[in-house]
Chains A and B, each alone.
Chain A
Amino acid sequence: MEDRATITLTVNGLTQTRAVDARLLLSDFLRHDLGLTGTHVGCEHGVCGACTILLDGRSARSCLTLAIQADGATIETVEGLGRMGDLGRVQQAFRDHHGLQCGFCTPGFLMTITDMLRHHPLETDDQIREALSGNICRCTGYQHIVDAVRELARARGPLT
């Protein structure tokens, strides 16, 4: 419990070195130590997906990851996707299709979808819904999120 370690990792392009408790969750590290509160904590048992980030390019649950496990890793969070006046394409598609309501699950969805667009065909609605099935949204019934992903997958074209 008193074990501490110094970790160095890259978060949204910036290198960070911090001393942390060995038991500190990556989600708490991002939110409290780095102040990146865009990553949300919805269940702390890996089911809801609100805390999803990209860890070395692939989606991961930051609530099921210890900060020290991310030593040396490259992390991307919602704050790295775009800014208020300059939304990234996944963010823009969510806005265009009304893919969010309360916004709490949204950062997790954005990160999952960023990963899925890079690695999965997403050619049919069934494939899209399967890709989204690890993230819970309680507001939208998923329909507008599916609409946004369908448009993004079409704009991307087939995976090469």
Chain B
Amino acid sequence: MTAFDASVEMRPKLVGQRIKRTEDPRLLTGSGRYVDDMNPQGLLHVALLRSDQPHARIRSIDVGEAFAVPGVLAIFDAGDIAGDFQPAIPASRMKGYYATPFRPLAEGKVRYVGEPVVAVVAESRYAAEDALELISIDYEPLPVAVAKDDAAADGAPLLHEEAGTNVIISRTFARGDVDAAIASAPVVVKGRFRMTRKTPMPMETRSYLAEWDRRRQALTLHSSTNIPGIVCDVLGTCLGLPGNRIRVVAPDVGGSFGGKGSLNHEEMLVCVLARKLERPVKFVADRMEDLTAMSQAFDETIEAELAVDADGHLLGLKADVIGDIGAYSIYPWTGALEPVQVVSFLPGPYRMEHYRGRVRGVLTPKPPTGPYRGVGRPSSTFAMERLMDMAARRLGMDPAEIRRRNLVTAEEFPYRTGSGIIWDRSAFQECLHGVCEMVDYPALVRERDAARAEGRWVGIGLASYAELTGIGSRIAVAPGMPINTGTESASIRIDATGAVTAAFGISSHGQGLETTLAQVVADELGCRMEDIEIQHGDSALVPMGTGTYASRSAVLGGGAATKTARVVKTKVLKAAAFLMDVPVDDLDAEGGVIRARSSNATMTFREVANAVYAQMGRIPHEQREDLVASESYDPYLGTACASTHLAMVEIDPATFAVSVRRFAVAEDCGRIINPLIVDGQVHGAVAQGIGAALLEEVVHDEGGQLLTASLADYLVPIASTMPQIEILHVEAELPNNIGGFRGMGEGGTIGAPAAIANAVSDALSGLGIEVDTLPVTPERLFRLVEAARASA
């Protein structure tokens, strides 16, 4: 593998630079516009009465005196809106799968605590919430199986009777003969790993505002979503509206991390109500509603066994995974998204012949799980990387060395894993080597050993992983899902003033795509960056666009930007060639100026655009072309992306609190568009990974009630608990993709939990402790240490 050639000729002007973000001035001055900042004339507010039961039949609803509350206009339950929409069906071609219908309000029965049942519409949110207090719902409690193992058992109470089972997802991936490999292996390590349930917890809660245009009989939904195109398509179907009469706009969106990347009950509801009432209707979740009912994350148990030869080479891996997918299969990704990816990615970035991964997805009376930064891979990497360290320990081998011996090498790409994933070339080995060099690994090991000699609990943990990013049309982002997630389009136009408007189907919600895509367009088109406006997050902008998820937008959006800008540039140069009376081959554009190589002649984009649009007859009519283009891009296979994380932790023997002393990341995201933004993405994703490893856990009790309904109970990382993160970028060449970009938005969340778990296990290796459940809270650590001491 060769490093990307960063010479002047190869690296254009703006891509690769630490450009300050275009988005920032508005967001820094309180001039951003998030959904809750919009208050159209006649606005009505919705508050929801949510289920306090995990599984119950709705016998009756008594609204009492709720209508007497001043400002209350209407109250709806499922029956009141039954004829106003069709449910959304999260379809998939998976065998044996059941697609749970998805509705705005619970119909007939409730299936998790927090499910919306009654909607109050009022002039203010205060009035709507007052009315909620006066409404009572009479429930007939139904039996529950809250734990996923219980829900999967024969005879368990069924959440969706039509499915005939709670196990609506069941798949197996296999290659070779793993049982034979394990039977004959000199070393076998195994564990039962559990990544508990998380919530994405973006800072902006879910917010939706629907406006019904009586004149056009058309609907606009302003939504804090990162998939406006997908939401628009499904709501158009559910509401019976053609695409030219429904539009979904994501204005400034305050983070998602996956939590705003699926269809929500409330999103459907405001649309139904706005059309019914012919008034703008807004719903803004409060934090408790988001913690209770936003799509949640992970929640798998992974039983896995790894066979290794005497030299530390991997022979085979066997895994049985059960995923708790909650009460509904989420739209559009389905409940398979998270657990199936666990078994798909479990073999990791390693060379290994034999594999069998079996996965089941089980309905339980909890909020649906959906995408969360990293999807599947944080759990799979946690399990696999723990097994790697356990094997290394059994062999007396250094954890870095066992990885070096097994990571796929440059000559082996493309490499097909036991689960069928194809790794295209990426800097697998280089990232491991790079991170060890960056931290001076041998010195760090000596430092750890010196601390250990003093009796301190200090440990080092490594985690290597690879992921698929910028996935093209060859495979669906979610298993068997019929939606095309492999294509994105761009539409670029230059107007009579020379201003450039570039519109995309992607939907930035903190990633800075207005900046990075402008860098790409400016370089490709040859215009000035300040003359470009990037538009995104609006289903009406381009014919084909789904949104921003799955680390796809730099790859697909950047590719579409490049293709489209090249077509527009050709048109600009053709017009300029005529106007300047030089051959088109003699021209090039840079910084908004078109120059002839063979003379001093120049024209600005503005001059060319003015001649094309405003000066009649300046260009003969048969040669005149509008300076516009629309192109789409499909990377087909997508790109592999690799990284190794390293953590050094110390455990306080009095409090069992884990402090992260060092954290280093070496990662390959291909050619970097903006290092400032890439660093920020890595920092933020690592913080979420550290949160998943040490703090974050959604807890439901045996009755299905949420115990972590505030930010005092659901802990996320704060500044004083975060380490400084050291980053090494390895920009491995990627010749088959336009631009050479790899996706990188999610990666930090994938490696950090495993690296922390390995570091904590290393710190406590003297006690023989192997961390198998995350987060490894002080309480869990205390119990592990107590148990180890008792058995010693």
Contacts and interface: CB of A to CB of B under 8 A. Distances in A.
A101 B712 contact: no
Contact of B31 (A38, A43, A45, A130): A38
Contacts of A21: 126
B26 A84 contact: yes
Contacts of B31: 38, 84
A119 B676 CA distance: 30
Interface in B30-88: 30-34, 36-37, 39
A141 B255 contact: no
Nearest to B253: A102
B277 interface: no
Interface stretch (B396-404, B454-462, B507-515): B507-515
B28 A132 contact: no
Interface in B270-305: 286-287
B28 A95 contact: yes
B37 A104 contact: no
A78 B511 CA distance: 22
A79 interface: yes
Given A95-B20, A103-B510, A129-B720, A40 B676 contact: no
Interface in A62-94: 77-79, 81-85, 87, 91, 94
A146 B719 contact: yes
B720 A132 contact: yes
A32 B284 CA distance: 14
B177 to A, nearest CB: 44
Interface in B413-437: none
B584 interface: no
B391 interface: no
A32 B688 CA distance: 32
A145 B254 CA distance: 17
Interface of A: 1, 21, 23-24, 31-32, 36-45, 47-48, 50, 77-79, 81-85, 87, 91, 94-96, 98, 100-107, 110, 125-126, 128-130, 132-146
Contact of A107 (B20, B30, B680, B722): B30
B679 interface: yes
Interface stretch (B168-176, B200-208, B347-355, B560-568): B200-208
Contact of A47 (B252, B710, B748): B710
Interface of B: 20-21, 23-34, 36-37, 39, 126, 130, 201-205, 252-255, 257, 286-287, 509-512, 676-677, 679-680, 683-688, 710-712, 716-722, 724-725, 748
Nearest to A128: B719
B188 to A, nearest CB: 38
Given A47-B712, A102-B202, A38 B680 contact: no
Nearest to A110: B28
A91 B687 CA distance: 23
Contacts of A82: 28-29
Contact of B28 (A42, A47, A106, A143): A106
B25 A103 contact: no
B719 A87 contact: no
Given A45-B711, A132-B719, A138 B29 contact: no
A139 B28 contact: no
B25 A40 contact: no
A139 B255 contact: yes
Given A78-B29, A110-B28, A141-B687, 4 more contacts: A98-B676, A101-B680, A104-B34, A141-B680
B697 to A, nearest CB: 16
Contacts of A47: 710-712
Nearest to A137: B203
A129 B201 CA distance: 21
A91 to B, nearest CB: 4
Contacts of B203: 40, 42, 48, 50, 102, 104-105, 136-139
14 contacts: A44-B287, A45-B287, A77-B30, A79-B29, A98-B677, A98-B679, A101-B512, A102-B252, A102-B253, A104-B204, A106-B27, A129-B720, A138-B202, A142-B722
B728 to A, nearest CB: 15
A100 B252 CA distance: 13
Nearest to A130: B720
A141 B30 contact: no
A56 B462 CA distance: 49
A103 B252 contact: yes
A82 B24 CA distance: 13
A39 to B, nearest CB: 7
A145 B679 CA distance: 13
A38 B257 CA distance: 22
Contacts of A100: 24, 27-28
Contact of A141 (B20, B34, B287, B686): B686
Given A47-B712, A133-B719, A139 B510 contact: yes
Contacts of B27: 100, 103, 106
A141 B717 CA distance: 8
A101 B508 CA distance: 10
A91 B711 CA distance: 27
Contact of B30 (A24, A78, A95): A78
A44 B20 contact: no
Contacts of B512: 101
A102 B717 CA distance: 17
Given A100-B24, A101-B510, A139 B684 contact: yes
A133 B720 contact: yes
A91 B287 CA distance: 27
Contacts of A37: 30, 33-34, 36-37
A143 B252 CA distance: 23
A140 B684 CA distance: 4
B683 A38 contact: no
Contacts of B255: 101-102, 104, 138-139
Contact of A142 (B252, B509, B687): B687
The 6 closest A-B pairs by CB, nearest first: A38-B30, A104-B254, A103-B27, A102-B510, A141-B683, A141-B687
Contacts of B725: 141, 143
A133 B34 contact: no
A140 B676 CA distance: 11
A104 B36 CA distance: 12
A104 B204 CA distance: 6
A106 B29 CA distance: 9
Contact of A45 (B29, B686, B712): B712
A45 B710 contact: yes
Contact of A143 (B36, B287, B683, B711): B683
Nearest to B508: A102
Contacts of A91: 28-29
A144 B720 contact: no
A110 B29 CA distance: 10
A136 B683 contact: no
A6 to B, nearest CB: 19
Given A1-B130, A40-B204, A102 B719 contact: no
A98 B20 contact: yes
B693 to A, nearest CB: 14
B510 A133 contact: no
Contacts of B717: 141-142
A96 to B, nearest CB: 7
A135 B25 CA distance: 21
A62 to B, nearest CB: 13
Contact of B21 (A39, A95, A135, A136): A95
Contact of A144 (B39, B126, B683, B748): B683
B533 to A, nearest CB: 15
Contacts of A44: 286-287
A140 B24 CA distance: 14
Contacts of B677: 98
A35 B711 CA distance: 27
B34 A94 contact: no
